[in-house]
Amino acid sequence: MGLVWAVASAAGPVLGGVFTSKVTWRWCFYINLPISGVGMVVLAVVLQLHNPRTPMRQGLAAVDWMGSLTIVGATLMIMLGLELGGIARPWIAPTVVCLLVFGLVTVGIFVLIEWKVAKYPLIPMRLFRTRASVASFVVGALQGVVFISGSYYLPLYFQAVIGASPLMSGVYILPFVMSLSLVSAATGIVIKKTGKYLPCIVFGMAVMTLGFGLFIDLEARPNWPKIILYQIVAGIGVGPNFQSPLIALQTTVGPGDMATATGTFAFVRQLFTAISIVIGSVVFQNGMEKQHPKLLAELGPELASRFSGSSAASSVGVVDQLPDRQREVARQAYFESLRTMYIVYVACSALGFLCSFFVGSHKLSNDHQEHKTGLHHMKQSRLDRLDAADSAEGGDETRAAPASSDKEKAETSLV
């Protein structure tokens, strides 16, 4: 999977640059249709899983509709609040405040539904029962937060500060995507050979913090040794934690929760990745707002407004059209704002590094037991968990009472 990621990650940014430069940026989205179509056909033909043929009515009745509705609503409200705040509307605007507050309230309602109401919860709260599982979620989320800033904002640095075209910005990011992809593949091999994932997690978070810290040292002019080497270091740090936190999480759950844990991990990681883009945009745009007085003095009100706030990221193509002096002023403004943004991401990476020590370590087993899917097995797993909980409570009560005879001792032992 890591090798496939390496090829795709190398080709993707370059193809995106070709589409943007030669055709239209919309082809960056059109191209997903035939690729996804081929993937669906391959899955239908090749993927063979246990299929219990659950009747549609029973299957639909078992879906956690309340949980699905509340988590989608909460996600939309929080994302919209973050997207509008400080850009389209002030942070204290009623719309922004209500979106964020009611989004967080809805998250609380979702947790209550999953904990107390849902028969087959979308995200079972038992996934967060142990410190190791929570740490795995946090590390995966923060790795996604930091990783996406490299893929998303390094091209902005190349285009706005160095003056690269969309096509060349895809080429310039190759050291980052190639190193992270190859290291991701190597990490899978190391874990398979050793059965240990914690060293990979700690190593990855430490090197990622170093690599993104080095981005702060990039210059407002093309310094290619720094650009290439810093990207390689950052990629080496990003690569190990595409797989390792998920493997750590899977060691803390039973076979019946494996799919749910994997899906929850992917959802949390994707959610924080999306939030990362919004946070980075807010920090970057606020940085450009701080540069506004200098831009106003050097470029005049019309151009200064194009390089301020929400217009800054979309105006990178204007920079190369400016006279030399004004071009340098605009590039310096972009550079200072991006550097401030990466300070925030380094702090997130450092937090992830600290959390990695709480993941814990288990020796991975070579044994595999296929888990059967379907409503019947979901019901049986639920009954088994309830029986286990009742037995645990009964065991506590029995241990509290003295056993007065050998028979009672035997019965207590059986319980």
109 shares its domain with 150: no
Whether residue 214 sits in one domain with residue 101: no
Residues constituting the chain: 415
In a shared domain, residues 266 and 300 = yes
* pLDDT attached to residue 387: 64
Q: What is the DSSP letter of 350?
A: H
Contact 326, 303 (CB under 8 A): yes
Same domain (yes/no): 221, 254:
yes
- For residues 82 and 223, membership in a common domain is answered with no
Q: What is residue 370's three-state secondary structure?
A: coil
Residue 209, domain CATH = 1.20.1250.20
**Per-residue pLDDT, 374:** 65
Asked whether residue 30 is assigned to any structural domain, the reply reads: yes
pLDDT the model gives residue 291: 82
If you write DSSP's letter for every residue of 194-226 in order, what string do you get?
H---HHHHHHHHHHHHHHHHHHTT--SS--HHH
- Token pair 């080496």 in the structure block, residue: 236
- Residue 328's pLDDT is what? 87
Q: Is residue 11 part of a domain?
A: yes
Same domain, 247 and 131: yes
Q: Angle at the Cα of 238 (from 236 to 241), degrees rounded to 5?
A: 115
pLDDT at 398: 46
Task: Note whether residue 289 is domain-resident.
Answer: yes
Looking at the fold, whether 144 and 265 belong to one and the same domain comes out as: yes
Q: Give me the half-sphere count of Cα atoms (radius 13 Å) on the Cβ side of residue 341.
A: 30
Q: Does residue 410 sit within a domain?
A: no
Residue 196 and residue 107 share a domain: no
Q: What pLDDT is recorded for position 259?
A: 84
Same domain, 198 and 245: yes
Same domain flag for 151 and 189: yes
Residue 40's pLDDT is 94
Residue 59 and residue 375 in contact, taking contact as beta carbons nearer than 8 Å: yes
Residues of the chain with pLDDT under 70: 2, 6, 10, 86-87, 309-310, 365-415
Q: Which of 356, 379, 401 is the C-terminal boundary of a domain?
A: 356
Q: HEC string of 75-89?
A: HHHHHHHHHHECCCE
Total count of domains within the chain: 2
- pLDDT reported for residue 203: 96
Domain endpoint, select from 101, 119, 137: 119
Q: How far apart are CA 7 and CA 178, in angstroms?
A: 8
User: Alpha-carbon distance 238 to 144, whole Å?
Assistant: 9
Q: What's the pLDDT score for residue 247?
A: 92
User: DSSP H helical segments within 23-130, as ranges?
Assistant: 27-30, 32-46, 56-62, 65-84, 94-112
Residue 403's pLDDT is 42
* 181 and 245 fall within a common domain: yes
Domain encompassing residue 166 = 2-41+126-356
Residues 262 and 147 in one domain: yes
What pLDDT sits at residue 171?
A: 86
Q: What is the pLDDT of residue 304?
A: 79
Q: How far apart are CA 278 and CA 289, in angstroms?
A: 16
DSSP string, 392-411: HHHHHHHHHSPP-SHHHHHH
Q: Which of 73, 90, 119 lies at the terminal end of a domain, its last residue?
A: 119
